[in-house]
Amino acid sequence: MMPPISRRCKQIFSLAFGRGFGLNPDKPDENPMSNPPTPTPPPIARFQRVRVDRFPFAGFWNYASACALELLPRPDGRVVVIASELADNPGTSVTNAAELLATDVCQRFGIAPERLVWIEHYEYGQDAGIPRTFDLVTFHPPRAARQARPASAALGTTMERGDAAIEKLFANPTWHRMQAQDWAALGLPPRPAVHYDLSER
Do residues 119 and 52 both lie within one domain?
yes
d(CA 73, CA 82): 11
Do residues 182 and 164 both lie within one domain?
yes
d(CA 201, CA 27): 65
Q: What is the pLDDT of residues 102-128, one digit of tens each?
A: 999 999 999 999 899 999 999 888 776
Q: Can you give the pLDDT at residue 141?
A: 81
Asked if residues 110 and 167 have their Cβ atoms less than 8 Å apart, the reply is no
Q: Can you give the pLDDT at residue 40?
A: 60
Do residues 108 and 28 both lie within one domain?
no
Under-70 pLDDT residues of the chain: 1-42, 128, 143-167, 199-201
Q: What is the pLDDT of residues 72-108, one digit of tens each?
A: 999 999 999 999 999 999 999 999 999 999 999 999 9
Do residues 25 and 106 both lie within one domain?
no
**3-state class (DSSP) for residue 152:** helix
Domain that holds residue 19: 1-35
Do residues 49 and 25 both lie within one domain?
no
Do residues 92 and 16 both lie within one domain?
no
Q: Can you give the pLDDT at residue 36?
A: 42
The full DSSP string for 58-126 is E-GGG-EEEEEEEEEE-TTS-EEEEEEE-TT--S--TTTTHHHHHHHHHHHHT--GGGEEEEEEE-S--
pTM of this prediction?
0.69
Do residues 9 and 93 both lie within one domain?
no
Q: Can you give the pLDDT at residue 165?
A: 54
Do residues 20 and 55 both lie within one domain?
no
Do residues 29 and 108 both lie within one domain?
no
Do residues 26 and 88 both lie within one domain?
no
Q: Can you give the pLDDT at residue 42?
A: 66
Q: Can you give the pLDDT at residue 179?
A: 95
Asked if residues 141 and 168 have their Cβ atoms less than 8 Å apart, the reply is yes
Question: What's the number of domains the chain is made of?
Answer: 2
